[in-house]
Amino acid sequence: MKLATTTGDFGGYTNSQIEALRYVRQAGFLYADYSFGMDYKHRNGVYSKDYPAYFEAVSAAAQEIGIKLIQAHSPLGTPLIDPDGSFLADTIRCVDACGAWGIPNLVVHSGYANGLSVEQTFAANKAFYAPILQRAEKYGVNILVENFNKMHVEGLYWIDNATDLRELIDYIDHPLLHAVWDAGHANLQEMPQDEELRLLGDHV
């Protein structure tokens, strides 16, 4: 097992992911999860105009710092409400970054929208994930769906447990689509986590 933490935890201290990686290493971690949410918020990093040069800068910095990127989180957003396709394009940029940095696993949250049935939500998510998975095939990057926190909104279907995750993964049916399990979210849901993890099996 590789013990890691996310660069996103240092967003209150810096807008620079490279500086955040230095903080992660100074805290004693040899491995890190790259949070694209920081870049998304500030429209820098992987979303800068010269992003290929940024890819190289992060690779060089990680080697110099002595830290390895083993997972990443794409930005949170509203993928099912994306009329101009900009959020999808931003998510695909994350896949390219993972390919450049040799990150094997990228968390991409599923989407939701008011008024959609379960069937419509699954179909819309399949359409969202399709081009992401197509790009992931280029690099062999696994795309991971995460269990959400507990939320109750009338008319909103929210994928928040192992059963939902398993059904979505089976529905989309792609060899690079798997699950990541957020134990903190599951604690807030008061779920029997051993049972949930057994249900997901080797998809985790």
Q: How many CA atoms lie within 13 A of 66 on its CB side?
A: 6
Is pLDDT at 190 greater than 90 in this prediction?
no
In the block, tokens 């996103």 appear at 8
Q: What is the pLDDT of residue 152?
A: 60
Record the tokens describing residue 191, joined without a space.
């779920």
Q: What is the pLDDT of residue 115?
A: 85
* Beta strand spans in 19-168 (E): 31-35, 68-73, 105-107, 142-146
* Beta strand spans in 85-176 (E): 105-107, 142-146
Amino acid in position 76: L
Q: What is the pLDDT of residue 153?
A: 63
In this predicted structure, which of 17-21, 67-71, 78-82, 138-142 has the lowest mean pLDDT?
78-82
- Give the pLDDT mean for 56-65: 97
pLDDT tens digits, 36-49 = 999 999 999 999 99
Average pLDDT of every residue of the chain: 91
pLDDT tier, 164 (very low <50, low <70, confident <90, very high otherwise): confident
* Portion of the chain with pLDDT greater than 90, in percent: 71
**Residue 111 contacts residue 80 (beta carbons within 8 Å):** yes
pLDDT tier, 155 (very low <50, low <70, confident <90, very high otherwise): low
pLDDT tens digits, 67-107 = 999 999 999 989 999 999 999 999 999 999 999 999 999 99
